[in-house]
Structure 1
Amino acid sequence: MSHRNARLTVHGRRLLVERVRSGRPVAHVAAEMGVSRPTAHKWIGRWRSEGESGLIDRSSRPRSTPHRTAAATEAHVCRLRQDRKLGPARIGPILGLPASTVHRILVRYGLNRLTFLDRPTGQVIRRYERDRPGEMVHVDVKKLGRIPDGGGHTMGFDYVHSAVDDHSRLAYSEIHGDERADTCAGFLRRAAAFFAASGIDRIERVLTDNAWPYRKSFAWRQALADLGATGKLTRACRPQTNGKVERFNRTLLEEWAYLRPYTSNTERAEALADFLHAYNHHRCHTALGGQPPISRVNNAAGQYN
């Protein structure tokens, strides 16, 4: 694999081959490009035997690792991690392995973080992402204690209804005093209008948990029908399935609700619009390659138009 100080990229290797093919001496071309003659001969030899594919970087992984931990031992490490949720410091003494070795095994199998696992079953959570904006929207409600004027103890609850597009992570939220069926249905219609104004013309599926308004209410089913969308429910006790909006709820708390002390409920509610604008238009998202959600929507629009 190329390192950051490598003299030759794939383009440089191709240029080296072209210069040698033109009849120039290998030693002269190597000196011009700042590499040794053996290096130049290596890439020319690969090109002659493999063509263009021979100029591409190869993995530096060795063909064999004779000192690697036995497969049966690695399997035992994984079972202890998944069944008992033990960490390297506790698995190591049980199997007579250094904690560092246990950690490398867990990294190899994607088990090094407990957040990667479904806690009841110990199975690795399969991450997914829909192919285009609007293909699936996650909807959820977060309950927050209200703030009396002047601060103090909570006085009832606010219900923050949120919708997050699976592909772009574009988000929309509203604060309401309840989570009844009519409220949820009205929120979904306004969320769809927001997504349409942002470039997501149609919502195909809406994924929710198993709360009563999403399962039984006529108002919710009618809202889905009006939008031409299909309603989907998560499996019971599996919030990971609705993970896009669950993760957004955590960001909502950290970067809006609990960001600073608020002196009133009104002050906190007014700050929500600023948070949503920053989240959608300016906040970098690691799952989007450092782009904000609106950039993913715009990129997709250019791709499908």
Structure 2
Amino acid sequence: MSHRDAPLSPTGRERLARCVVEDGWSLRRAADRFGVSVTTAQRWVRRYREHGKDGMVDRSCRPHRSPGRLDLRTERRILGLRVSRRWGPERIAYRLRLNPSTVHNVLRRYQAPPLAWTDPATGARLRAKPKARRYEHDAPGELVHVDVKKLGRIPDGGGHRVHGRAKGTRIKGTTKPGMACVHNAVDDHSRLAYSEVLPDEKKETTAAFWRRANAYFTSCGVTVKRVLTDNGSAYRSKVFAEALGEVVHKRTRPYRPQTNGKVERFNRTLEQEWAYARPYASEAERVAALSEFLHTYNHHRGHTALKGHSPASRVPNLCGENS
């Protein structure tokens, strides 16, 4: 399609070329008649002689050669990470050591829909969702998000991810392994995380977890000023209020889990990169792998909201302690 300031349409180009080729006009006379330069008139006349009427349409501006374009193998790695890990351009770029805009261009060229437009479980395309309003506190400790993620325990010998769905549900008879509660605390500014797998979410258990989480943040040089939780009974108890001490307690609006979105997003990362990242032979094996995941998450894993840096990079006392 011609740009809006183009003096000639494909039909006008053909008329100009016919005046020169068939009627014997000079290039300058034809250029003056149609209001273009002699060079432009010469180009359309040449194309008319070579290709006839078909040569009057616009050609692609794409170069014949692109020496700086990514090789096909790297493009396939980008698409593979997009499909298998459901990562965005920034996360893929940090993994492959590329510029995020380069990864974005590859995904757009292959018409990969934005993650917000796809269903997390099936990958099916959905309608575009409006972007949520993002916020971030200025310093570590100004706000810590706390939440509980429930996971089904793995029976000894492995569950359905090891033995298959039919056999895995019957491998230990009719006894169900029950649920495990993963208590999480995530700093709003740095995304520094502390987690424990505990048997329940009672008020005493929740209060004890917060005391240990607060001690962890203190050991990292972070003084917690406020805590944000949902409206669960354990968080509304006096026992939890006593555990908080002078820390200000804020609660989310009812039925609005996105208010506590940073820890909710961490829960999803916890599922994808630890809880269900690989088949475990027992619940004890999965629990033992939690500390390694937390170390990787806090010190080595690039966070998209932190422009590829790790949470530890935003905590002064942890900078450089990546061993």
Verify the 8 A CA contact 2:312 2:318 in the aligned structure 1. Answer: no
The residue number in structure 2 matching 1:208 is 229
User: Mind listing any 5+ residue stretches in structure 1 that lack a counterpart?
Assistant: 1-110, 116-121
The residue number in structure 2 matching 1:223 is 243
Aligned pairs for 1:78-227 (under 5 A) are: 113=116, 124-152=131-159, 153=169, 155-200=177-222, 202-215=223-236, 217-225=237-245
- Post-superposition Cα deviations, 1:42-80, rounded to whole Å, max 9, x if no partner, equal xxxxxxxxxxxxxxxxxxxxxxxxxxxxxxxxxxxxxxx
Distance 1:241 1:165, change over 3 A: same
State the superposition RMSD in angstroms.
2.1
In 2: Cα distance, 1:169 partner to 1:276 partner: 11
Letter in 2 for 1:295: S
Does residue 244 (structure 1) correspond to residue 265 (structure 2)? The answer is no
Letter in 2 for 1:223: A
Which has a greater percent of helix?
1
The residue number in structure 1 matching 2:281 is 263
- Post-superposition Cα deviations, 1:141-174, rounded to whole Å, max 9, x if no partner, equal 0000111111234510100000000000000000
TM-score by length of 1: 0.56
Verify the 8 A CA contact 1:132 1:300 in the aligned structure 2. Answer: no
SS at match of 2:234: helix
In 2: Cα distance, 1:264 partner to 1:112 partner: 33
Shift of 1:125: 2.1
The residue number in structure 2 matching 1:99 is none
Letter in 1 for 2:231: N
Distance 1:113 1:266, change over 3 A: closer
Distance 1:114 1:300, change over 3 A: farther
Distance 1:148 1:129, change over 3 A: same
Match of 1:233 among 226, 229, 251: 251
- Post-superposition Cα deviations, 1:152-209, rounded to whole Å, max 9, x if no partner, equal 3451010000000000000000000100001110101100111111121x11110011
Distance 1:114 1:204, change over 3 A: farther
- Post-superposition Cα deviations, 1:110-129, rounded to whole Å, max 9, x if no partner, equal x99469xxxxxx87521100
Aligned pairs for 1:279-290 (under 5 A) are: 279-290=297-308
In 2: Cα distance, 1:114 partner to 1:197 partner: 41
The residue number in structure 2 matching 1:291 is 309
Distance 1:130 1:123, change over 3 A: same
Number of aligned residue pairs = 181
In 1: Cα distance, 2:310 partner to 2:140 partner: 14
SS at match of 1:149: coil
Verify the 8 A CA contact 1:205 1:232 in the aligned structure 2. Answer: yes
In 2: Cα distance, 1:112 partner to 1:242 partner: 21
Verify the 8 A CA contact 2:152 2:180 in the aligned structure 1. Answer: yes
User: Mind listing any 5+ residue stretches in structure 2 that lack a counterpart?
Assistant: 1-113, 119-128, 160-168, 170-175
Higher relative contact order (CA 8 A, sep 6+): 2
- Post-superposition Cα deviations, 1:197-242, rounded to whole Å, max 9, x if no partner, equal 1121x11110011111112x111000111xx201111011111110
In 1: Cα distance, 2:137 partner to 2:211 partner: 21
TM-score by length of 2: 0.53
Shift of 1:253: 0.4
- Post-superposition Cα deviations, 1:4-36, rounded to whole Å, max 9, x if no partner, equal xxxxxxxxxxxxxxxxxxxxxxxxxxxxxxxxx
SS at match of 1:290: coil
Shift of 1:290: 1.0
In 2: Cα distance, 1:234 partner to 1:147 partner: 32
Distance 1:297 1:209, change over 3 A: same
In 2: Cα distance, 1:278 partner to 1:264 partner: 22
